[in-house]
Amino acid sequence: MTDNLDLRRRFFAEELEAVCKLRSPGLVDAFAAVSREQFLRPGPWTVLADGDFMTGGGMQTRATPDADPARVYHNIAVAIDPSRQLFNGQPGTLAVWIDALALVPGARVLHVGCGLGYYTAIMAHCVGPTGRVVAFEVDQALATDARQNLASMSWVDARYGNASERIDEEFDAILVNAGVTRPQDTWLDALAAGGRMVLPLTATMPAMGSTLGKGLVFVLTRESESDLSARVLSMVAVYSAEGLRDDGMNERLGKAMMGGPMQWRSVKRLRRDAHDESPACWLHAARCCLSTS
């Protein structure tokens, strides 16, 4: 099946560019250059065949016929731990998220939830050796493997943890690759002027336990010390972040989303200033608020 993996990766990348309407040529080149199979367990692979997450449905998987690396160059999620139903995310989803970060050579990136490091490597390719990528993974075994997988990229620093502790660096882009109930103060503090954050805000789905949540992906852009512009990028069903969720905010977020698209598409900014809750507060918390005005 494999005649030329370089050509197959290039076709894969250009298909993502066309279907996902990617705007960054550097991102397309990254998908064409980075070997996905090097960031997976040995094949044959378990891949996601079907799943209706947005309505609370379960997962259906299938196995690839063989371990030919060409099998993973499709818009499919590939399991990195089938026993936990833990997947390397669907390229078409993550490509859109990364594209929203508008990465350029020399940029500084924070990646929260890097798994085995594939999408970290994609972003590292975008920013190049003059840039910097700091990646966190809360599963220690995965973090160890990610560090090994990314060892050839000296400008990548892969760490074990959930990125909730203070980070004494500034970043031009932050990708949060797990569902949270609000952005951590440490992430907001670390976002440089004009920097962008892709943030999945999710409420857990009782029918599926606490592993998955559904919600909205926001793009936040720092405008000032206490004010960030905000817009909804898409709906999402994604794994919940460990140690970064709050039960009270989970309930608030669920109720806010029940207001429907007319309300959540009206969100314009994230406020960090102290203020009383008002009708303009779509999701109000003590230290930050998503507001429609």
Pair 148, 172: CB distance under 8 Å: no
pLDDT (average), residues 16-42: 97
Work out the pLDDT band at 60, boundaries 50, 70, 90. Answer: confident
Q: Would you call the peptide bond into 44 cis, given omega within 30 degrees of 0 as the criterion?
A: yes
Q: DSSP string covering 4-29, please?
A: -HHHHHHHHHHHHHHHHT---HHHHH
pLDDT at 56 over 50: no
Residue with tokens 């075994």: 141
Identity of the residue numbered 119: Y
pLDDT (average), residues 270-293: 94
> Given this model, what pLDDT does residue 51 score?
52
pLDDT at 291 over 70: yes
> Given this model, what pLDDT does residue 82 score?
87
Work out the pLDDT band at 53, boundaries 50, 70, 90. Answer: very low
pLDDT at 44 over 50: yes
> Given this model, what pLDDT does residue 210 score?
55
Compute how many other C-beta atoms are within 10 angstroms of the C-beta atom of residue 237. Answer: 21
Q: Is 94 helix (H, G, I), strand (E, B) or coil?
A: helix
Share the mean pLDDT of the chain: 92
Pair 199, 180: CB distance under 8 Å: yes
> Given this model, what pLDDT does residue 50 score?
64
Cα atoms in the Cβ-side hemisphere of radius 13 Å centred on 121: 24
Pair 136, 156: CB distance under 8 Å: no
> Given this model, what pLDDT does residue 207 score?
59
Closest alpha carbon to 65 in 79, 86, 45, 84: 45
What percent of the chain is predicted at pLDDT more than 90? Answer: 82
